[in-house]
Amino acid sequence: AQSVTQPDIHITVSEGASLELRCNYSYGATPYLFWYVQSPGQGLQLLLKYFSGDTLVQGIKGFEAEFKRSQSSFNLRKPSVHWSDAAEYFCAVGGGSNYKLTFGKGTLLTVNP
Amino acid sequence: DTAVSQTPKYLVTQMGNDKSIKCEQNLGHDTMYWYKQDSKKFLKIMFSYNNKELIINETVPNRFSPKSPDKAHLNLHINSLELGDSAVYFCASSLRLTGNTEAFFGQGTRLTVV
């Protein structure tokens, strides 16, 4: 069965600091990996995705993520966080003929001024 | 134009009532989903439909009945509502059924059962 672990429930960073949100997945074949962001009271917006190819993927809002097969990880990074990045971040995995996304439990990001 | 829209955004109802949530997508996608987000923000798939055909039913109580009149619409009807049904319900759609396609989510319907 596929699963996603986001080890950090809550992370606090200062505005302008760098950010890394961790994601580990379990999937038997080549995974398709996603990061979504949810602002308070909003739906989920896709930040970036990995299907194949270059293991470093760029997304919207200055985010990037790196797929590391050997570590079963897909960590999200941003070099300089803005106050508007405060939100809940979800990592998700899907794959091949699998018909669903499995989400991690989310990481809440707080940004201090 | 809103890609995936669901109504209502908020729904407060008493235990035992029956309610429906509507979802429409204007993206021309073949596949639609219902996800449930609980009070701890955990997202779990409930159903998926592909071209109006039920593909996934994730052991959801049969009080929940999805209906897809066409591939642009996927409604969720809930009978005999219980306190534990309180959650945010998200509709989503994707171009096709397979995993290498992103899902687009609606804004969610916050259901509160009192």
pLDDT above 80: residue A109: yes
B43 near B36, Cβ under 8 Å? yes
Report how far residue A87's alpha carbon sits from residue A100's, in angstroms, rounded to the nearest whole number. Answer: 24
pLDDT above 60: residue A96: no
B51 near B70, Cβ under 8 Å? no
- B61 prior amide bond cis, ω within 30: no
pLDDT at B101: 83
**What torsion do the CA atoms of A54, A59, A64, A65 make, to the nearest 10 degrees?**
-60
Interface touch B107/A94, C-beta < 8 Å: no
A89 near A35, Cβ under 8 Å? yes
pLDDT-based confidence at residue A61 (cuts at 50, 70, 90)? very high
Residues (pLDDT < 50) of chain B are none
**What torsion do the CA atoms of A70, A93, A56, A9 make, to the nearest 10 degrees?**
-90
A55 near A66, Cβ under 8 Å? yes
**Mean of the per-residue pLDDT values of chain A:** 93
pLDDT at B55: 86
pLDDT at A95: 66
Q: Among B43, B48, B106, whose Cβ lies nearest the Cβ of A103?
A: B43
**What torsion do the CA atoms of B74, B57, B13, B112 make, to the nearest 10 degrees?**
-100
Neighbours of B24 (CB within 10 A): 19
Q: How far is A22 from chain B (nearest CA, A)?
A: 17
pLDDT at B52: 87
pLDDT at B64: 96
Mean pLDDT of A74-100: 89
Per-residue exposure over A2-40, b if at least 16 CB sit within 10 Å of its own CB, e if not: bebebeeeebebeeeeebebbbbbebeeebbbbbbbbee
pLDDT above 90: residue A75: yes
Interface touch A36/B108, C-beta < 8 Å: no
Report how far residue A72's alpha carbon sits from residue A24's, in angstroms, rounded to the nearest whole number. Answer: 6
CB contacts, 8 Å: B98 with chain A = 96-99
Q: Is A42 on the interface with B (CB under 8 A)?
A: yes
CB contacts, 8 Å: A42 with chain B = 107-108
Strand partners, B6: B23
A75 near A22, Cβ under 8 Å? yes
**Mean of the per-residue pLDDT values of chain B:** 93
Strands B10-13 and B109-113, by their bridges, are: parallel
Report how far residue A99's alpha carbon sits from residue B50's, in angstroms, rounded to the nearest whole number. Answer: 10
Q: How far is B113 from chain A (nearest CA, A)?
A: 18
pLDDT digits 0-9 by tens, A29-60? 778 999 999 998 888 999 999 988 899 999 99
Mean pLDDT of A52-76: 95
pLDDT-based confidence at residue A10 (cuts at 50, 70, 90)? very high
pLDDT above 70: residue A98: no
pLDDT above 80: residue A21: yes
